[in-house]
Amino acid sequence: MATRADDDTVNLTDFHKSPGVYVDQSQTRPVILTKHKRPFAAVVSAQWLEHAEAALAALHGNRRVYSEGTFPNDFAARLEASLPSDAEIAADRWDHDTPGTAASPG
């Protein structure tokens, strides 16, 4: 974790005494609240939160996690179809860097 400037952190007790000061400060940069000298929570502006949520959605928005009971039936067939055939593997015509694609004959 990167080291933060002291004016970016505040202990929880001080935050409770004057939250408005730190909420105002959070409009220009995140304010990290500490508890027992360790990061505990953060106060950020609505704009900062929107940007962070958009960045996370761009990075992870299309990812899904499936378990045995939730794996869609058509996905199993699509996965099976994307695997190289025994003949492609035997002829070493499968592009190992791009799963599911056969290499061009060379």
What is the C-alpha separation between 5 and 49, in angstroms, rounded? 20
Q: What is the pLDDT of residue 3?
A: 46
* Tens-digit pLDDT profile for residues 36-94: 999 999 999 999 999 998 988 888 777 777 777 787 878 878 888 888 888 888 888 76
Residue ranges of domains in the chain:
8-48+61-90
Q: What is the DSSP string of 19-80?
A: HHHHHHHTTTS-EEEEETTEEEEEE--HHHHHHHHHHHHHHHTT-----TTT--HHHHHHHH
**pLDDT bucket at 2, cuts 50 / 70 / 90:** very low
pTM, 2 dp: 0.53
**58 phi and psi angles, rounded to 5 deg:** -65, -35
